[in-house]
Chains A and B, each alone.
Chain A
Amino acid sequence: MSRLVQKSPSLCTDLPLNNSDVCNKLRLLKELLKSCYGPTGRLKQVHNNIGGHVVTTSTSSVLLPALSSSQPLVNLIRSCILNHVSRFSDCGLFAAILCLTLIEEAKLSGLRRNVSIKVNKHLLGMCSSYLQEEDCGCRVVLDFCSSMNLITLTRSVIYSKPACVLAEVEALHMSKLAVQAFLLTVPCNSPGTVRLGRIVTVGVEGHPVLNSAVLTGLLVEVHDHLSLRMIKSMQTNPLRVVLFSASLAGDLSDLGDGIIEAHTGVDTDSQILDQLLEFCKHVVEDEVKLFVCQKVLHPVLQQYLRNHGVIVIDRVGVALMEPLTLLTGAQPVATLHTTIPAKAYGTVRSLSVKEFGSKTMLHLQPAAESAVCTMVVCHRNETMLSELKAVCQQAEHVLRLTLKEPSALLGGGCTETHLAAFIRNKSLNEVSQTLTAVECSQSEYLLGVEGFCRSLESVAAALQHDGGNSLTDLTHAHHWTLPADVTTENMEESLTFCGCGLTRNSPNMKWTHLNTKYPQFSPAPALRDSTVQPHVLDSFTAKLNALQVAVETANLVLDVRYVIQDTN
């Protein structure tokens, strides 16, 4: 019986940014993300309402998917940032905070929306071109002859996630490992187009972080102890490998919606199994010694293969398939309808058993040079381990980005304050030229500039969570933090280094609190003294893109006139 339900009309919100409910939600989102930002950021406990698993995190890639809202604008921002994170891994929080602050500043300034949008766009262009300039004051060119800057860059990524609860030594250890693993994925002597290898991350819970390690080759978890016993008696000659991506469970899982008609007497299961056995016979005849299956392998087949001296690993999962093909040179067999061509087989040089904590794993060494390596990440508990794993993968991505653009930006908020000072100065100097391009009055333009710069500075200030003050110096416009309990009198003593560690306290340096008015000046690039290296570096590519995403998303949100929701 069908029932007619009257459709409720769609809900239309006029000028959503003037709606207090929308604004409250945006502010809530901003506070939420701001409090996660940086190495001393606060964690969020994400869980469902019925006692499910608790995820403790401050990483945008974990947090943002959980933050779905009834408000389309919030979801719009969320998906823009998530898109950025999926492409660049880093600077997600930066983009989100900047975007939300820009929206708020634009509202506060009282400018017409289209003016704000135009000014923001103009300033974004100014930032991008400055960051790519040769003499940009906040960019560091990475030197691949030394691993130092790479380690610094990695360390900044790893250290920025407090849920990993790493001591300084541990953070350094992990950074070194991440760089080492990254370098292992760069093939040494392959001519033609260079293809980067893969890092496979294996987590081991309950072990100290310093036990983490990087190994060449692959570690594959083995579940049954029969295979392990066989490996111990194995000789170490190169072994022929076959790789199956098709299921060998003995079922017909890829049947789809079709229907098979069969006689009642027919035992489909055993017929399928017979076919699979035929298949395995060929494999044995082809002298395969290692049989790897992505999915389930029927116990009868396992027994058959073992009896013929073949080591069986099943249920390796889809994530390991690509690294396995890279390592062994085998082509995964996806169909059972043809015989396996000889070129589909691969080889491994040797097999050995490695134990990490409670995990027993098979170590596969490549026969030829291969850019596949395994990073074993250990941590004391599950929460910290999953955050650390995520961060290591993030670091890997950041390091890869450096190959395209061998630069990094000063971290610790220094890039933001420096950019703000630069823009303030430049836009004041060039105000007359730009007015025609932006089509607004001078006061409007300056108001827009001020909002943009304040937004940048407030991202830098968001690094501080314990009530400390954010300062900027009036020479290089770097970012300095002053602990909450330090009075202004002995301020100078407690300021030793700026946020990125490139500039140090010097006698005639002057500071001003962020978000107070200061006389415009052209920020000087920090002196390039080769003995002083920055302590904190951010990914250039990721940050530049994050900046663009933030401004463009903010402009998009500012441009929204109506929100129409279908409430059915």
Chain B
Amino acid sequence: MLGSTIINHQQHVGLQKLSALAGLAHSFLGPNKKYKFIQDDTSGESVMVCSCFRILENLELTCSVGQLIYETVRAHQKVHHTGSGCLLFLAGVWSRVALEFLHRGIPVASIILAMSEGMDICMDVCRKSSVSIDNLDMEHSQSSTALSGLQLSKEPIKDTSQAPHQSKGTINVGHKSLKASAQRKIKLSRHFCEPKSENMSTEFQNPQPKLLDIAHIAECLSHGCVEAMNLVVECSRIQSKSSQQDSTCSKFNVSKVMTCVLPGLPEEEACTVQGCILLLSADQASVAHHLKDQLLKVVLIDGDLSGTYRHLGFKRLSGIQFMSEDTDLSSSSKEENWMEKVITTLMNLEVNLILISGLVGEKVIQRCSSHHILAVEKVKVSVLNAFADSTGAVPVTYVTQLSKSCVGAGVKLVIWRDLSSYKRKSSLAVNISTGRNIELVTVVVTSCIEGKLQALEDQFWTCAYRVHHALKDRALLPGAGVMEMLCAHHLQNQAERDPPQQTKAAAANPYRSVVLHHMAEGLIDYISTVMVNTGKFSKLQARTAVNQQLQDCNKNLGGAAFFSPLFSEAEKKDRLISSPVRSTNPPAVKVYDNLSVKQEAWRKALDLVFLVLQSDAEVITGIDQTEAVQKNLMLL
């Protein structure tokens, strides 16, 4: 056992690694994502990935910075399911920025101080520019004068201190900058003057004041994944219907959504279904046919359904010896005994359906099938809980625990689709639901290309969580690069000024201005990369366009509003293709981003940079002499 270290001096290897690895994120930014292949040279296997998280997951990075990146992205992905690309990209650009400062000899403490201040400025701008989703909804369905009167109280958190051009709702896709100020007048006057009543869609004619229109929010958040987002909207519609008995689209409970992946079908067949879609094997299929369209009794097993399964934390006896007089009681008959008991219990309770979170052996399934009991394995615990809530069943670990009070009733099984012609393991898809008010919705993701399924499923979850977070935050940020522009603008402005409150530390930091400028550069880099990814700009064009707009804005403060550089005039005609088409004459679809996700991603990116920036050595444990010599390490 040896500890070993490398000490990086002027060349900060960690930051270099971070910015190099962040290069992975470039092509995943923005709505036009490109697939990447990861090939394993030794086994010849390859995977197709379309997100930062998946690429990191498949790369198996062993260096410490790589590990740190993966841990950060994984933690972010686990909670937010979106924004990992943004996180990694910004970590990359800001680490380059930090590297640049180190070369200039700026002390680490000053870098951290100023960058933290920059982050606070950005967070503040985000907070102030956020648009309440209630307002978003209103904007969309400006139906009556009375409603716009109500609006005043619901205004987003107002910006009082800073320049007024950051007011919400000024992102106007498809409008030239010249027109922008005129447009802004209309927006502000919305609350006071007569509302515009043209081009409003008929389906949202009678909104209840409190009910949200998720379809509209979803549309703003689709970011190019229109199909996936449509599935989310459909989920929401089903869930709203089941709880309110009307046809609005005002509820979305992501924890009651599950996905089912079906390879072999064309992508257009993806759909959402109320209830829980489960894939069955040929054995189970016959039982399913027998049970269809009846009211079933269900039990829920949390664990494996097998004679040898023991609950978590149970230690098997090792020091036990069995003595016996007769030798025919072998292990197979023990299993048989158990089986007999299980079947008797289930028959006594008149159970038709067992949902099991763990595994079930083939034999057990067959035995159950012969008694017309359908046993389904690998059901998610969240699904078990949903059934527990809606049927009154109590999840148990062992079949022996079952009693009348644990059995749920009123479950319906419907044959959803016969897959036997596809020659795969699963031959039948059934829909299990409790007819009344179950919120559970299954999204069936399909594709002819098996390698794409993962990406499609991820895409769905990304969209679902975007909507989920929008509802949780009850606010959104102007998207399509506008937020980054605003922040860049503010950073640049703040860089020119003195620190707002004369705190001792801030006043003593002579590098504040240069650091803030460079942070803004990072954000500009982000926007221009997204622009480049659309395939319509070169890097240079993109940067010029962004810088031009920032300068224009600086010249006439308060006048011009930011519009998304992504949709400049030249792109106007192309836009119709990429934007979701709801009616023949679509209103300009605004693009929004999630507030908390963006803030989190930025924060985490900067935290990652801070951790790497402050690190100067790697301590590798458990390394041997020869390895150390090869890698040129110092041994302790």
Contact = CB atoms under 8 A, between A and B. Distances in A.
Interface string B390-412: 00001011101100010000000
18 contacts: A28-B636, A32-B619, A39-B109, A43-B614, A46-B621, A47-B618, A48-B620, A54-B71, A206-B79, A250-B314, A260-B317, A260-B319, A260-B321, A261-B323, A262-B320, A265-B324, A298-B311, A383-B611
B317 A28 contact: no
B195 interface: no
A382 B619 contact: no
Interface string B105-121: 10111101000100000
B45 interface: no
A337 interface: no
Contact of A263 (B109, B323, B610): B323
Contacts of A253: 315
B615 A51 contact: no
Interface string A33-67: 00100011011111111111110100000010011
A432 interface: no
Nearest to B406: A303
Interface stretch (B1-9, B429-437, B449-457, B532-540): B1-9
A268 B320 contact: yes
A205 B79 CA distance: 11
B67 A54 contact: yes
What class of interface size applies to chain B in its complex with A?
A: 35 or more
Most chain A CB neighbours (cut-off 10 Å) among B3, B72, B319, B617: B3
A411 to B, nearest CB: 17
A253 B623 CA distance: 36
Given A54-B68, A303-B396, A257 B616 contact: no
B617 A45 contact: yes
B5 A249 contact: no
B590 to A, nearest CB: 29
A381 B396 contact: no
B383 to A, nearest CB: 14
A261 B317 CA distance: 12
Given A165-B610, A299-B396, A56 B615 contact: yes
A380 interface: yes
A74 B600 CA distance: 42
A205 B503 CA distance: 30
Contacts of B574: none
B607 interface: yes
B604 interface: yes
A47 B313 contact: no
A131 to B, nearest CB: 30
A49 B319 contact: no
Given A56-B611, A162-B614, A466-B107, A296 B314 contact: yes
Contact of B323 (A40, A43, A262): A262
Given A40-B108, A47-B621, A269-B310, 8 more contacts: A44-B619, A45-B14, A51-B60, A163-B614, A249-B313, A251-B317, A253-B315, A265-B324
Interface in A354-393: 358, 380-384
Contacts of B65: 45
Contacts, number: 209
B64 interface: yes
Contact of A32 (B105, B320, B505, B617): B617
B316 interface: yes
B107 A380 contact: no
Contact of B611 (A43, A205, A261): A43
A257 to B, nearest CB: 7
A467 interface: yes
A67 B615 contact: no
Nearest to B65: A45
Interface of A: 25, 28-29, 31-32, 35, 39-40, 42-54, 56, 63, 66-71, 74, 162-163, 165, 167-168, 205-206, 225-226, 247, 249-253, 255-266, 268-269, 295-296, 298-300, 303, 307, 315, 358, 380-384, 465-468, 483-485
Most chain A CB neighbours (cut-off 10 Å) among B14, B108, B329: B108
A381 B607 contact: yes
B168 interface: no
Contacts of B397: 299-300
A272 to B, nearest CB: 9
A300 B401 contact: yes
A45 B615 contact: yes
B603 interface: yes
Most chain A CB neighbours (cut-off 10 Å) among B110, B314, B396, B401: B314
Given A249-B315, A255-B319, A265-B324, A44 B109 contact: no
A262 B321 contact: yes
Given A47-B67, A165-B610, A382-B71, A42 B616 contact: yes
Contact of A66 (B311, B600, B614, B621): B621
B627 interface: yes
Contact of A56 (B68, B315, B317): B68
